[in-house]
Amino acid sequence: MKKKYDFKGGVQCLPIKKDSREHFLHYLPDPEKFFIHITHSHLKKNRLRVKIGQEVLCGQPLTFGNDVIVPIHSPTSGWIENIYFSSNSSDKNQEKIKIVILSNHLNKWIRLKTINDYKKYTPKDLIKIIYQSGVVGLGGAQFPSFKKLMLSINKVHTLVINGIESEPCITADYCLMQNYMNEILIGCEIVAWISKVKDILIVVQEDKVELILRIQSIIKDKKLFKLCIIKKKYPGGSSKILIKSLIGKEIPCGKHSIDIGYLIFNVSTIYAIKRSVINGEPLIKRIVTFYQKDENISSKNFWIKIGTPINFFLNYLKINNNSNISIYSGGVFMRHLIVDLNKSIQKNINCIYIKNSKTEKKVEYPCINCGYCVSACPINLLPQEIFLYCKNSNNKKLKELNVVDCIECKVCERVCPSNIPLVKHFKIAKKIQKIIDVDNNRKKLFSYLFKKREKRLLIEKKISCSQDQISSVKRLDIFSKIQQQEKNDFTNQKIIEKSYRKKMLNEAIKRARLKR
């Protein structure tokens, strides 16, 4: 029997994914308009590559990238109808850009450069292709994949493919693996070629029996690959918990898995890397799970293009937006309420979750110090104490308790009998800690620069003093030489005068003798 990896804490999830697994992948038709939202403080107006009225093709870059962000591509062919600029009220340096694309429904692609043998290319060349294709982490963080790969070259020994969807209602990655496993394995080999890893671990949950059998049959002749099965618990998909489950070691506070030799990629990201390198396709679509929790639970998985309006998606499913339902992005645990349905599907959205809003609202009670949250926390934090210091705004204690390590999985909230929104307080504390850390780092930098300046001025002063001393010595030496020269001249003058007087005296004596 194959070993099943486990981790401390977490919660068991109800098997509500069964229905969604019976569905095949569906394709959502193109809307009339696509809305590409760009929010980044490093992206300015002059970084756009298109203008209003310009014709665009499917896969055409809309923006330039830089060392922080990747380019964004058009999901369809058509025209740029409008470009809106607005600044963020909370951050004046952060600019919001919305590009409206009117689709012609022809889906004419730009010319794609395909590659048959990626091993003929250097790792840097492949990373450049991945960067130009706009590939980011599709597990939720949207961290640029090219940056992660650049950091991992010759630093990691194991590639971990995260196929765990611990959220009970999301099956996007599951359907992707069921339908495109061969392409995912090619993507793994590409990343392994770039990072020079020795092992590839594909991690899935124990309840995905059909998928486990399928993967085992595909990789049985591939020595580089190994299948790891993890117990069905939430939140097993977090990178910190995943590494701890597999090797029994924790990622140090403030560090990344790359620092301990492990490179982690979500299966959707690996698939996008394969499509970008081999097929030349930029990232313009992803699989999104639709899940509706009501009397008749329904769940489907769709290929949806980036920029598709959420209200178009709901209208296609014949769901009327009313006060009786709440619409979220994300799963049962880590969900975010969608207030504006005119917003579009982004690269980090893997699920649209609809819940009946008429359900009884939970009443918050004071903490009873039961300790359930401490037992359930999968990364060994102390939510009970952290909450206490959050209320008292004790930032020093919050730093000692490593509040920044909280993965915001909301397990502590789920087990709390007092219905306290713990993660809400933790998020605020994390933001404050980041501000404090930035401020402290700035102070350290200024202190370092000030000390460096003082040291430089001291050295310059010493040099100046030594130069003054040298110049004064030189002056004294010259003065003494002049004095000596004057003295010598005076002595010589005396000698000359004495000899002249002696000569005159001798001549006078001679004249006197002649007269006699």
Backbone angles phi, psi at 283, to 5 degrees: -80, 105
Q: In CATH, which of 3.40.50.11540, 1.10.3720.10, 3.40.30.10, 3.40.50.300 is domain 1-29+112-282? A: 3.40.50.11540
For 395, the token pair is 């930032």
> Which residues does 185 contact at the CB level (< 8 Å), separation at least 6?
218, 219, 222, 225
How does the average pLDDT of the chain come out, rounded?
86
**Residues 368-424 pLDDT 10s:** 999 999 999 999 999 999 999 999 989 999 999 999 999 999 999 999 999 999 999
Three-state DSSP state, 56: strand
Which of 2-16, 39-53, 431-445, 476-490 shows the lowest per-residue confidence on average (mean pLDDT)? 476-490
Degrees, nearest 5: CA angle 143-214-159: 30
Helix (H) or strand (E) holding 286: strand 285-293
pLDDT at 105 over 60: yes
Q: 3-state SS string over 154-195?
A: CCCCEEEEECCCCCCCCCHHHHHHHHHHHHHHHHHHHHHHHH
**Residues 149-172 pLDDT 10s:** 999 998 999 999 999 988 888 999
> Which residues does 454 contact at the CB level (< 8 Å), separation at least 6?
none
Domain ranges of the chain: 1-29+112-282, 31-106, 298-356, 370-472
Radius of gyration of the chain (CA): 37
pLDDT at 289 over 80: yes
**Residues 24-75 pLDDT 10s:** 789 999 999 999 988 765 555 558 999 999 999 999 999 988 888 899 999 9
Q: What percent of the chain has pLDDT over 70?
A: 87
Three-state DSSP state, 208: coil
Helix (H) or strand (E) holding 511: helix 422-515
Residue 23 CA to chain centroid, in angstroms?
A: 33
The residue type found at 355 is K
Binding positions are 367, 370, 373, 377, 406, 409, 412, 416
Q: In CATH, which of 3.30.450, 1.10.3470, 1.20.120, 2.40.50 is domain 31-106? A: 2.40.50
Q: Which one, of 352, 362, 300, 308, lies nearest residue 326 by Cα?
A: 352
Degrees, nearest 5: CA angle 427-308-264: 50
> What pLDDT shows up at residue 335?
87
> What pLDDT shows up at residue 361?
72
For 468, the token pair is 């003054």
- The HSE-up count of residue 419 (CA atoms within 13 Å, CB side) is 6
> What pLDDT shows up at residue 194?
96
Helix (H) or strand (E) holding 300: strand 298-305
Binding positions for [4Fe-4S] cluster are 367, 370, 373, 377, 406, 409, 412, 416
> What pLDDT shows up at residue 20?
45
* Cα 90 to Cα 87, 94, 319, 439, distances in angstroms: 9, 9, 33, 18
- Asked if 11 and 373 touch (Cβ cutoff 8 Å), the reply is no
pLDDT at 91 over 50: yes
**Residues 290-329 pLDDT 10s:** 988 765 566 789 999 999 999 999 999 988 877 778 899 9
